[in-house]
Structure 1
Amino acid sequence: MVGKKKIHIFDTSLRDGDQSPRCQLNTKKKIEIAKRLEELGVDVIEAGFPISSPEDFNSVQKISQSISHTTICVLSRALKKDIEIAGISLKNAKKPRIHTGIGTSNCHIRYKFNSNPDKIMDIAINAVKYAKKFVEDVEFYAEDAGRTENNFLARICENVIKHGATIINIADTTGNCLPENYGKKIRFLKENVKGIDKVLLSTHCHNDLGLATANSLYGIINGAEQVECTINGIGERAGNTSLEEIVMILKKNHYLNLFSNINTKLLSSISKLVSNYTGIKVQPHKAIVGLNAFTHSSGIHQDGVIKKKETYEIIDPKEIGVNKSSIILTSKSGRAALNYRYKKLGFNLSKNSLDIIYSIFIKYADKKNEINNEELKMIIKKASLNYKIFK
């Protein structure tokens, strides 16, 4: 797109998403999801963590054989054995990437590794150098970068770039950052790391405080060019940045001058597939793909949407593969919605008839969550018998 900057979409549903508690993915399901992700248009599929289990290693191999043009990425710790297994698992990938790294915050250095910054620096450099023996495309992750002191983070980024890293992942591993601070961290690196213009900066944000999407957005506004995310926002603990949210933010906010290659009309179907395969239900009020995302029950909202959809819908449901929005009838619904639904059933009501039917409807609606079409027919039959509205 002329004049617009592309944001690379790195989907980690099969790796970080697969680490969701009670997730139920096997190799067959992972292959099917990977194929659908490629069809969706993601730039990178993180297919797994090969050293973690024989099943994960096998899944990566099978996915690599099944994908035609999307980059296949796998995770490794900054350990030789991890990196070797990662390289072997990617043998059949058309576009392979190893994603290796280490914790960089004082908390991780001291308590997780019982180490010091100089040793962590050496480990990071050696991991990248070793990964380059297996693949050209090496992504380095700075785990817990969100809590890492900026000057040290800049030094480690500069050194891994010098030794061949092609992408730098600035991970807000604990979801601790505020959007403004995360954005400033990305901007600091863009302005203070030698060679940063030769690599992609990537966001990887967790949702512990409900800020994963906001942090990713502030990251790309401040210079990041890749977003690591998952379908439905699945992932460790409270999950990761939701792919559908970040993609639709880019699409609907033209002033950002950013775009992705995602075919948004496939978002609803892949959301359902991932939910069914993982066993993790999508909350009804989930942005973009939740059951209620295009459903209206309040009378004021219903009246506005009936007159002009844009009054309460900034996204056309068809943009994400949903046929239409829904007007459901509850005790909060008004006459406009009731009349609208009756018209759909073939009834054209006068104002007087509508008033009579509404008085009956509201008594039923107070006792139920939703009034369906059969109940609407029953209500109009009762009104016709008692009040002779059609006589």
Structure 2
Amino acid sequence: MAASAKPFCSTTQQPPTPIANRLPSPSQPPALSSRAAPRFAHGLSAAAGVRASPSARRLRALVRPIRASSQHQQQQQQLPRRRPEYVPSRIDDPNYVRIFDTTLRDGEQSPGATMTSAEKLVVARQLARLGVDIIEAGFPASSPDDLDAVRSIAIEVGNTPVGEEGHVPVICGLSRCNRKDIDAAWEAVRHARRPRIHTFIATSEIHMQHKLRKTPEQVVAIAREMVAYARSLGCPDVEFSPEDAGRSNREFLYHILEEVIKAGATTLNIPDTVGYTLPYEFGNLIADIKANTPGIENAIISTHCQNDLGLATANTLAGARAGARQLEVTINGIGERAGNASLEEVVMAIKCRGELLDGLYTGINSQHITLTSKMVQEHSGLHVQPHKAIVGANAFAHESGIHQDGMLKYKGTYEIISPDDIGLTRANEFGIVLGKLSGRHAVRSKLVELGYEISDKEFEDFFKRYKEVAEKKKRVTDEDIEALLSDEIFQPKVIWSLAAVQATCGTLGLSTATVKLIAPDGEEKIACCVGTGPVDAAYKAVDEIIQIPTVLREYGMTSVTEGIDAIATTRVVITGDVSSNSKHALTSLNRSFSGSGASMDVVVSSVRAYLSALNKMCSFAGAVKASSEVPESTSV
């Protein structure tokens, strides 16, 4: 048994009694039975002076380090650790690790995961409660709508203290290395108490040659100039990322990082952009940068690991152990392609195995993890797989008989983390169970408990939908509440709205659907179509009214809770139809749009989701039309 092994990580339950406390003390002989006592009575005093046997010496050697390690771990857990005061280019406590959350920027780059501005603001508020140090709120230059969303987050979340310590997160905006992007980022984040501009340019040979078509010298000059420009705008906190650092030449990396430090960069983010490196490689990369970059003591080293080989969390932890003190992550690990390092995995690994990571710690309030995970799932439409670490539905489920037996005897046998530590079990403090007789006060209290703050008008709209559902269900669960909120409040700007839908189907005839929509000018339009099923017929009726050629890429429906009266949540992903005979302007958009809807009727739920996606497409098209160009996608 290794002395450093830590059998239980929970802060809410007591760990098992250490072996040292269960074994006989080395300084005292074991108790003798009454039957054996007469035989050894005359020799006890002499036996105490006899040299111990080899097995006894080994036992004592084992006991001492285990007892010492256990006491040291308990002392460490009892010591309160406060978040150091924020200074852009340094951290006063060398063991503190900043958590940089990019769910609202890189996470939203997951296909079909577009969120509305209202949804982004709600998620940003929850990230602040979670305790993240930096929120990368978006890519302001990508569209006027994204700039407005980042600005709103900077104004509201970036100036509002949360928690007992009054934590205010840094609000960050991403930009490419050009003046237009940096100007947009600064315009969006400058309203925050602690603003940051994050700018990047590719540094690997393959990117410089084939994408940028620039020489290394040109790339260094651009990086130096743009970091200096960001500082000249008055931004005291500038992060620089050499894109595809994992495949970049080491000496070139040292050089460009040295130059941007001189230009004023306060954080140097090292991205494994394509998830190519192995943990020992990435750890060595961070260690080499720390050892060989002149001026590195004047900046914070950061990691940004993609999950293409399933190694994002492992690489991030390797980087932290090698000296990185900012870790870029997303909730549920969502992001471009296979996703990013998962916040919940990285944070709980540090919390659980801190003794093997040189005592590192974060400022994350882990009891908000489950709530944040569910909120991001609801608003992004990206549900985690059941076996996802920490937040998956099966993460704390035990079906094997042997495991169940161990759990019944002591939970620490098969759980290294208590569900309470991530806020998985949430009991209502006042014992309120929502139903059809629940009033506004009780419902609003439940919304606050779930982390949602909405205006009075939004609440009245939501309460109307709540009453409609409560009349048909005996009990309304937290999951029902979140599904209704997403469907009623956090929808895109309403361009087309659903007035009514009626469908007939069965084995005796064709499936038909009649749909009535309200147009942007308030005019009611009706269409009736037949299809292979009621949903297909309803979608064809919507298409006949709106006249926007689309392709349905994904369609999924889930039951929010169990039971025949469960609310159905539908999620769809659509793109414009780029076929040769399609002439509509929106079909040229090379982007996918997701939509979600909720109802106890599966057809109504499906139509709501389809309209949500179409409204997003129309809103985005309007924003693009107002902008001079559609920027290229980002991948840091």
> TM-score, structure 2 length as denominator?
0.50
Match for residue 264 of structure 1 among 366, 384, 392 = 366
Q: Does 1:23 align with 2:113?
A: yes
RMSD: 1.3
Q: Does 1:95 align with 2:198?
A: no
Q: Distance in 2 between matches of 1:127 and 1:176?
A: 28
Provide the secondary structure at the position in 1 that maps to 2:341: coil
Identity, % of aligned pairs? 50
How far is 1:4 from its partner? 6.7
In the alignment, residue 34 of structure 1 is paired with which amino acid? A
How far is 1:127 from its partner? 1.1
Match for residue 234 of structure 1 among 334, 337, 347 = 334
In the alignment, residue 252 of structure 1 is paired with which amino acid? C
Match of 1:131 in 2: 230
Provide the secondary structure at the position in 2 that maps to 1:66: helix
Q: Distance in 2 between matches of 1:84 and 1:310?
A: 53
In the alignment, residue 156 of structure 2 is paired with which amino acid? S
Q: Distance in 1 between matches of 2:337 and 2:145?
A: 22
Provide the secondary structure at the position in 2 that maps to 1:295: coil
Match of 1:41 in 2: 131
Match of 1:288 in 2: 390
Q: Does 1:14 align with 2:104?
A: yes
Provide the secondary structure at the position in 1 that maps to 2:232: coil
CA deviation digits over 1:175-217, x for unaligned, max 9? Answer: 0010000000000011011111111000000000000000000
Q: Distance in 1 between matches of 2:190 and 2:348?
A: 34
In the alignment, residue 192 of structure 2 is paired with which amino acid? A
Correspondences of 1:165-176 after superposition (within 5 Å): 165-176=265-276
CA deviation digits over 1:306-351, x for unaligned, max 9? Answer: 1111111000110000129xxxxxxxxxxxxxxxxxxxxxxxxxxx
| Matched-pair contact (CA < 8 Å) for 1:7–1:225 | yes
How far is 1:280 from its partner? 0.3
Provide the secondary structure at the position in 1 that maps to 2:184: helix
How far is 1:246 from its partner? 0.3
In the alignment, residue 312 of structure 1 is paired with which amino acid? Y
Q: Distance in 2 between matches of 1:200 and 1:312?
A: 38
| Matched-pair contact (CA < 8 Å) for 1:4–1:259 | no
Q: Distance in 2 between matches of 1:24 and 1:188?
A: 37
Provide the secondary structure at the position in 1 that maps to 2:415: coil
Correspondences of 1:195-344 after superposition (within 5 Å): 195-255=295-355, 256=357, 257-323=359-425
Match of 2:147 in 1: 57
Match of 2:293 in 1: 193
Match of 1:86 in 2: 185
Which structure shows the bigger proportion of residues in helix conformation?
Answer: 1
CA deviation digits over 1:217-260, x for unaligned, max 9? Answer: 00010000000000000000000000000000110013120000
Structure 2: state its 5+ residue gaps. Answer: 1-80, 83-92, 160-167, 427-561, 563-636
In the alignment, residue 150 of structure 1 is paired with which amino acid? R
Q: Distance in 1 between matches of 2:124 and 2:392?
A: 22
CA deviation digits over 1:352-375, x for unaligned, max 9? Answer: xxxxxxxxxxxxxxxxxxxx9xxx
| Matched-pair contact (CA < 8 Å) for 1:101–1:127 | no
In the alignment, residue 273 of structure 1 is paired with which amino acid? M
Q: Distance in 2 between matches of 1:225 and 1:91?
A: 24
Q: Distance in 2 between matches of 1:83 and 1:43?
A: 22
Correspondences of 1:379-390 after superposition (within 5 Å): none
Q: Distance in 1 between matches of 2:145 and 2:170?
A: 21
Aligned residues: 325
Match of 2:173 in 1: 74
Larger Rg: 2
Structure 1: state its 5+ residue gaps. Answer: 325-371, 373-391
How far is 1:91 from its partner? 2.7
In the alignment, residue 160 of structure 1 is paired with which amino acid? V
CA deviation digits over 1:49-73, x for unaligned, max 9? Answer: 0000111001001101111221000
Provide the secondary structure at the position in 1 that maps to 2:132: coil
Q: Which runs of 4+ in 1 moved over 6 A?
A: none
How far is 1:24 from its partner? 3.3
Q: Distance in 1 between matches of 2:242 and 2:316?
A: 15
Question: Quick one: higher RCO (CA 8 Å, sep 6+), 1 or 2?
Answer: 1
| Matched-pair contact (CA < 8 Å) for 1:184–1:222 | yes
Match of 1:365 in 2: none
> TM-score, structure 1 length as denominator?
0.82
Match of 2:214 in 1: 115
| Matched-pair contact (CA < 8 Å) for 1:231–1:274 | yes
